[in-house]
Structure 1
């Protein structure tokens, strides 16, 4: 049996306020193309299907179209909620969806009831573990003391192994959404730490043939059988240049036969530019990135006027800007100490220099003085 391991679709997520639905639909639609080209029988989605618990109508429409394309390509789908999803909302109509080949495993109490699939070698039991919030899941799993991710996932996997024991000869796959020891995070995941206890040892998942993990956005292998697929899109500029992928997983009669990476298309690349504004606007070598999502770090000694508008005139998808040109202050005196003996105008002039990198001009100082004098007169009247 051939499976395609994906996770962290985050449908509805934006990049610094810029809508990504078109890019998300493009790359998720490519999963259907992979399924058709590689004769994939099951697509796995290990959590964070949506980016928020209450997705927009446009986000749900994207998911509808993507799932329809994957089913048309001949693959069944097994998906679970992550920490960004609402398990109850994602699990709505799961019984009806299962009839069409889309299996949503969102109920903690049913996590040891697998999706049973078959090939020439017999049964494949696919267990979908929804994201287990420790404080909630421990009650559903009958835990009274333990409050960690390790504890609830251990209890969940004990149930999975108990069910698997009753299915001799069945091969097994587990989907889970967690921070597993050895994984390397990116800067676009939401922290799932609870009281400082968020890390789960990979040994928790012993006893199954393949573990399809979600949560970390960087594709990585913790072992041959325990892997993160990563997100299909880069969701932060810290992931710029990172090759996104899915894992193509083959099971034979003995269990895991092989895994290989399938690169995913990049609808719009992410690029970080650094330099002075005039340089970025004029450099002919940057023509190749004009259609990328751009984050600009400006090193001008003085803060430029309206830099985002100027950047977007050339880089139409510039979505993030920071000015790094000012020299950090080394003054360690307290705020009260720094103000002692200084006039209001001197304080205002220093603020202008701090924000802009250049103190007020004589004309600006005159305007500041007049404004401060007017404010003082109003205070005197109150």
Structure 2
């Protein structure tokens, strides 16, 4: 059996105020083509289909069109809900979906697999919707469920009970933060800090393959436990992460091969760093005029209307940040220390400018203006 593992579509998410709907439609169209070209039998979507619990109408349209296109390839589709989805909204049409498309949102269905046969017999798919301990513990009142780790350990026991009564190969689908994920910039924005929501890897022992969602970059935690990541870049922190899906092959004995299928990137993401004039150079404009641009300018002082100037050269500049270059500041004296040592108003103003400009004080012309203003104040006070 051939399985395509994808997740975290986040239909409806914006990118720094820009709609991603058209770009995502393009990428999901390419994913459908890959399903057809690779003769995929089952497509898994491991949670966060929508970006919001209350998606707008176009989000439903894109999901419906994509599911219909996947169904037309002959593949079965299994979808689970994530922490961004409303399980009720995602699942309310489940009974009306055409044969071969399964939407799993009910915690009480865990342990009852979706079974799909191939030439080697049955493959049992155990879908685990995103489980918030405070919400789902009422279903299992005799079990202590305070953390994600405890909750996932319990439901994986239910999965293993299901495996005991349903002999054959098995695949589990879950949406959580598993131990072993490499921490990188741009980790999924809902991943919590600390350790309470980290699920130990051994919790997933048993099934032939574990298809995880929640992390936006692909990750291989073991040969059989993987994240596919999101099909589209949703932040500049993700810009260096490949987009794609895992192509999973099972033979009669279980997992036999996993390969990466890269997806196209409709518009590249690039971060340009330097002074504003350096970023606006002709070479950068030639190379990145059609890219999403994050501009990090290092001028000592904030520049006038930087976004307007950047968008005149980079139509898709989405983010601008001022991060002064402190390499030549050299002085680590605190603002309070500078202020205590200042005697004159000029010195106090200089201490303030050094503090707010990351080590850069007044320029020669600014110093002249400061003295002029202070002299005018002294003359005005003398006339009172």
TM-score by length of 2: 0.86
Q: Does 1:151 align with 2:150?
A: yes
Query: 5 Å matches for 1:172-251?
Result: 172-186=170-184, 187-193=186-192, 196-251=195-250
Q: Deviations over 1:262-281 (max 9, x none)?
A: 11111111101011122222
Q: Residues of 1 paired with 2:52 and 2:127: CA distance? A: 20
Q: Report the CA distance between 1:338 and its aligned residue.
A: 6.5
Q: Report the CA distance between 1:282 and its aligned residue.
A: 2.2
Q: Residues of 1 paired with 2:86 and 2:163: CA distance? A: 28
8 Å contact from structure 1 (residues 297, 323) kept in 2: yes
Q: SS at 1:139's partner residue? A: helix
Q: SS at 1:10's partner residue? A: coil
Q: Deviations over 1:60-100 (max 9, x none)?
A: 22212221221122222101111111111111111111x33
Q: Report the CA distance between 1:141 and its aligned residue.
A: 2.9
Give the structure 2 partner of residue 374 of structure 1: none
Distance change (3 Å), C-alpha of 1:28 and 1:333? same
Distance change (3 Å), C-alpha of 1:89 and 1:213? same
Q: Report the CA distance between 1:363 and its aligned residue.
A: 7.1
Distance change (3 Å), C-alpha of 1:118 and 1:367? farther
Give the structure 1 partner of residue 380 of structure 2: none
Q: Deviations over 1:93-139 (max 9, x none)?
A: 11111x33221100101111211111111111111100111222222
8 Å contact from structure 1 (residues 148, 194) kept in 2: no
Q: Residues of 2 paired with 1:339 and 1:14: CA distance? A: 49
Q: SS at 2:280's partner residue? A: helix
Give the structure 1 partner of residue 64 of structure 2: 64
Q: Report the CA distance between 1:241 and its aligned residue.
A: 2.5
Q: Residues of 1 paired with 2:351 and 2:308: CA distance? A: 27
For structure 1, list consecutive stretches of 5 or more residues without a partner in the other structure: 371-382
8 Å contact from structure 2 (residues 4, 245) kept in 1: yes
8 Å contact from structure 2 (residues 144, 150) kept in 1: no
For structure 2, list consecutive stretches of 5 or more residues without a partner in the other structure: 377-384
Q: SS at 2:48's partner residue? A: coil
Query: 5 Å matches for 1:37-186?
Result: 37-97=37-97, 99-168=98-167, 170-186=168-184
Between the two proteins, the alignment pairs up a number of residues equal to 369
